[in-house]
């Protein structure tokens, strides 16, 4: 029996919803984090309360990674379906730990080189410990043995993960863990052990994009949030509910998405920094209010955590098919900003900027997340709260109003942004309506006034492009091959870029962080390459068409699309790019 050290470990724990798959990966994640590994954790669950295939995936690497690994090194499977679903991704020298409580493993399709450990976890848990859920701690005992983890170290992590349980429950889980260790030690033929590295690293946060968005909103002075639970955006609401009271944040769970966005709009009109969060179906319902915010020039931040559509679609699966709706949705011409973060750190930073931009430009700002960005967890350096600066824009107070000869709420200005006194400010009375109005807020359909007001609002973007977040770019500046993607594509594109560069392929990539308006830097990037592969998760190539409409070279744009609800793997995307290149 030999031990192989792992610097990049990929583990999947899978079974039926309710089996507790997340528990095992949470304990193992705690252990790996203590040893200095970067973590990337995701899940694949059915859209139901209980039952259906459910899997938790965890990647622990000594390098920062923003996506799942190509292959599964260790699979902990609580049923045959879990093995069938994961078989094609198993590493040639991988390990499957299989729960035989409901029958023996069907090994069809599995490579002979894969080590199989069969344990009746469920039967042991019920017979010896009187509770089925103890099979998770039993299985962690076997898993920690395979990874050559010292017993005391493993128990310490288990205790930390269960610290909120009563002591007798913790002891029961430790006993189950010990049973798993004992079972492994008595195996007549043990698999090769895996050794984990142990490196020094500064403390990191393990956080999802949804949580980071909520954190950034609070850090930027957000003080009102209204939301309605919807997968995969619910965690934004839950995080603000959990921590908002510490910052005097008013949080309301509305009766539906229409109520949520209108509550946020009303709060925003009083000068409070306000936000709501939803997913595609809810965002569709919010279109009229977003248009109202654009017309009435009310600052509003809306998070759209995209999922597979159309309609109800696949609520727990990832997609990027709301691009057209976020950029072009709602009626009429009005300025809106769409920002697309590429990971939790980006989610925090862009939530801060979105909150500030809404105030500075007095318009709706949309944060475009997707299910993976929103719900996958990864380790990041702690956010720099001291770097957060609140921007207030052209806010005027009572003293300033006293010095003005007259106050025009919708004053036509060179940059399109008008002085704003929030309702209730002495001397700052004005009318607010969704109808077209003149500078004083009085309803007007005068043709000249109409043209002036539409142009005024548009100047908010045209005159303030310098305020919008620039993209994240890396690679060989003179490369003829470019990769471009937003959101969840960033992590996989970074890894693909590294792999292809290591093979001698000159390549560069860009993650546009401002999706709309399309910045010159984005078009310049596409036109500087002979070929640009635009990677996105939708069938209609919405991002590619958006770029083409803004001046990208049609001959150079090549779409790589995926819309089956599953993310790209780095190896999968590498192969597609190499196949495309071979055909040139």
Considering only CA atoms, which of 405, 387, 404 is closest in space to residue 396? 404
**pLDDT reading at 301 higher than 90:** yes
Q: For the chain, how big is the Rg over CA atoms in Å?
A: 26
pLDDT of residue 194: 86
With contact defined as beta carbons under 8 Å apart, do 307 and 318 qualify? Answer: yes
Quote the DSSP letter at residue 37: -
What is the average pLDDT across 140-169? 94
On the question of pLDDT at 2 being above 60, the answer is no
Task: Report the alpha-carbon distance of residue 414 to residue 396 in Å, rounded.
Answer: 18
Taking residues 164-189, report their average pLDDT: 92
Angle between helices 121-129 and 135-146 (to 10 degrees): 120
Q: CA angle at residue 506 from 504 to 507, to 5 degrees?
A: 125
Give the residue carrying structure tokens 């546009």: 512
Q: How far is CA 16 from CA 56, 77, 143, in A?
A: 11, 10, 19
For residue 565, what is the DSSP state?
Answer: S
CATH 3.40.920.10 residue ranges in the chain?
3-196
- Rounded Cα–Cα distance for residues 139 and 493 (Å): 34
For residue 355, which phi and psi values (nearest 5 degrees)? -65, -40
- Angle at CA of residue 210, ends 568 and 164, nearest 5°: 110
DSSP state of 160: H
**Cβ proximity of 385 and 421 under 8 Å:** no
Q: What is the mean pLDDT of residues 98-116?
A: 92
Question: What pLDDT digit, counting tens, does each position of 528-541 carry?
Answer: 999 999 999 999 99
| Segment 220-238 mean pLDDT | 97
Give the helix/strand (H/E) hosting 527: helix 520-527
Mean pLDDT of 279-288: 98
As given in the structure block, the two tokens for residue 569 are: 């793997």
**What CATH number is given for 472-582 in this structure?**
3.40.50.920
- Res. 73 pLDDT band, cuts 50 70 90: very high
Q: How far is Cα 247 from Cα 254, in angstroms, rounded to an integer?
A: 20
pLDDT range class, residue 228, cuts 50, 70, 90: very high
Pairing of strands 53-61, 377-380: unpaired
pLDDT band, residue 4 (cuts 50/70/90): low
pLDDT in tens, 108-141: 889 999 999 999 888 887 777 777 778 889 899 9
Q: Is 477 exposed, middle or buried (0-12, 13-18, 19+ CB in 10 A)?
A: exposed
- Helix/strand/coil for 456: helix
Where exactly does CATH 3.40.50.920 map onto the chain?
472-582
Residue (of 126, 137, 131) closest to 161 by Cα position: 137
pLDDT of 47 > 90? The answer is no
Cα 149 to Cα 172: distance, rounded to the nearest angstrom: 20
Which of 216, 128, 214, 143 is closest to 176 using CA atoms? 128
Q: Would you state the pLDDT for residue 483?
A: 98
Tens-place pLDDT, residues 415-436: 999 999 999 999 999 999 999 9
Confidence of residue 50 (pLDDT cuts 50, 70, 90): low
The pLDDT assigned to 417 comes to 98
Mean pLDDT (the chain) is 94
The angle, 0 to 180 degrees and rounded to 10, between the axes of the packed helices 287-296 and 257-269 is 10
Q: What is the pLDDT of residue 154?
A: 95
Q: Are 519 and 561 in contact (CB under 8 A)?
A: no
Q: Which of 318, 293, 294 is nearest to 307 (CA)?
A: 318
1: pLDDT confidence band, cut at 50, 70 and 90? very low
In the chain, where does the domain assigned CATH 3.40.50.970 lie? 206-380
SS3 of residue 532 by DSSP: strand
The answer to whether 105 and 80 have CB atoms below 8 angstroms apart is yes
Q: Residues in the chain, how many?
A: 584
Q: Among candidates 459, 455, 428, 433, which has minimal Cα distance to 444?
A: 433
- In this prediction, residue 3 has a pLDDT band, given cuts at 50, 70 and 90, of low
List strand residue ranges (DSSP E) for 79-231, in order. Answer: 90-99, 115-119, 193-196, 205-208, 224-227
Q: How far apart are alpha carbons 134 and 128 in whole angstroms? A: 10
Q: 206-380 has which CATH code?
A: 3.40.50.970
pLDDT at 66: 94
Q: What is the average pLDDT across 545-571?
A: 96
Whole-angstrom Cα distance, residue 570 to residue 579?
14
CATH number of 3-196: 3.40.920.10
Question: Is the C-alpha dihedral spanning 521, 337, 351, 539 positive or negative?
Answer: negative
pLDDT digits (tens, 9 = 90+) for 457-500: 999 999 999 999 999 999 999 999 999 999 999 999 999 999 99
192: nearest Cα among 86, 89, 73, 87: 73
Residue 46 has pLDDT above 90, yes or no: no
Per-position b or e across 357-374, b if 16+ CB within 10 A of its CB: bbbbbbbbbbbbbbbbbb
Three-state DSSP class for residue 204: coil
Give residue 323's pLDDT: 98
Residue 52 has pLDDT above 80, yes or no: no
């Amino acid at each position: 029996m030999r031990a192989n050290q792992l610097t990049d470990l990929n583990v999947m724990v899978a079974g039926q919803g309710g089996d507790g798959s997340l528990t095992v990966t949470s304990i193992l994640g705690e252990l790996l984090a203590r040893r200095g590994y970067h973590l990337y954790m995701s899940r694949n669950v059915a859209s139901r309360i209980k039952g259906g295939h459910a899997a938790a995936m965890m990647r622990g690497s000594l390098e920062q990674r923003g996506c799942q690994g190509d292959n599964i090194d260790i699979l902990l499977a609580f049923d045959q379906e879990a093995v069938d679903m994961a078989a094609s991704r198993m590493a040639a020298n991988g390990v499957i730990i299989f729960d035989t409580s409901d029958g023996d493993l069907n090994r069809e399709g599995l490579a002979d080189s894969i080590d199989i450990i069969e344990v009746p976890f469920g039967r042991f848990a019920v017979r010896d410990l009187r509770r089925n859920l103890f099979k998770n701690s039993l299985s962690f005992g076997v898993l920690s043995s395979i990874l050559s983890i010292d017993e005391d170290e493993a128990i310490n992590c288990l205790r930390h993960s269960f610290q909120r349980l009563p002591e007798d429950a913790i002891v029961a889980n430790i006993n189950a863990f010990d049973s798993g260790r004992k079972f492994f030690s008595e195996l007549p033929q043990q698999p090769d052990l895996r050794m984990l590295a142990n490196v020094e690293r500064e403390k990191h946060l393990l956080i999802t994009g949804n949580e980071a968005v909520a954190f950034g909103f609070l850090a930027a002075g957000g003080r009102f949030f209204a939301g309605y639970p919807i997968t995969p955006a619910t965690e934004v609401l839950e995080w603000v509910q959990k921590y908002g009271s510490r910052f005097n944040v008013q949080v309301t769970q509305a009766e539906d998405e229409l109520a949520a966005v209108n509550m946020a709009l009303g709060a925003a009109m009083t000068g409070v920094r306000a936000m709501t969060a939803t997913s595609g179906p809810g965002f569709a319902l919010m279109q009229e209010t977003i248009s109202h915010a654009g017309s009435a020039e009310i600052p509003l931040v809306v998070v759209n955590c995209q999922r597979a559509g159309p309609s109800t679609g696949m609520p727990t699966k990832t997609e990027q098919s709301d691009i057209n709706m976020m950029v072009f949705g709602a009626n009429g011409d009005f300025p809106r900003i769409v920002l697309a973060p590429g990971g939790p750190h980006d989610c925090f930073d862009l939530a801060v900027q979105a909150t500030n931009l809404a105030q500075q430009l007095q318009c709706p700002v949309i944060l475009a997340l997707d299910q993976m960005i929103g719900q996958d967890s990864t380790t990041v350096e702690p956010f720099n709260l001291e770097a957060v600066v609140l921007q207030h824009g052209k806010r005027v107070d009572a003293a300033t109003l006293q010095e003005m000869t007259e106050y025009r709420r919708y004053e036509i200005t060179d940059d399109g942004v008008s002085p704003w006194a929030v309702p209730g400010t002495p001397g700052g009375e004005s009318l607010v309506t969704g109808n077209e109005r003149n500078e004083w807020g009085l309803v007007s359909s005068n043709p000249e006034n109409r043209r002036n007001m539409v142009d005024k609002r548009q100047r908010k973007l045209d005159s303030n492009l310098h305020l919008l977040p620039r993209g994240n770019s890396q690679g060989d500046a003179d490369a003829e091959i470019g990769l471009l993607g937003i959101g969840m594509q960033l992590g996989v594109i970074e890894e693909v870029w590294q792999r292809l560069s290591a093979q001698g392929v000159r390549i560069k990539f860009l993650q546009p962080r401002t999706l709309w308006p399309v910045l010159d830097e984005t078009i310049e990037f596409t036109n500087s390459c002979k070929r640009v592969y635009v990677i996105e998760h939708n069938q209609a190539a919405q991002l590619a068409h958006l770029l083409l409409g803004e001046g990208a070279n049609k001959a150079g744009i090549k779409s790589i699309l995926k819309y089956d609800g599953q993310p790209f793997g780095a190896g999968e995307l590498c192969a597609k790019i190499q196949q495309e290149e071979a055909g040139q």
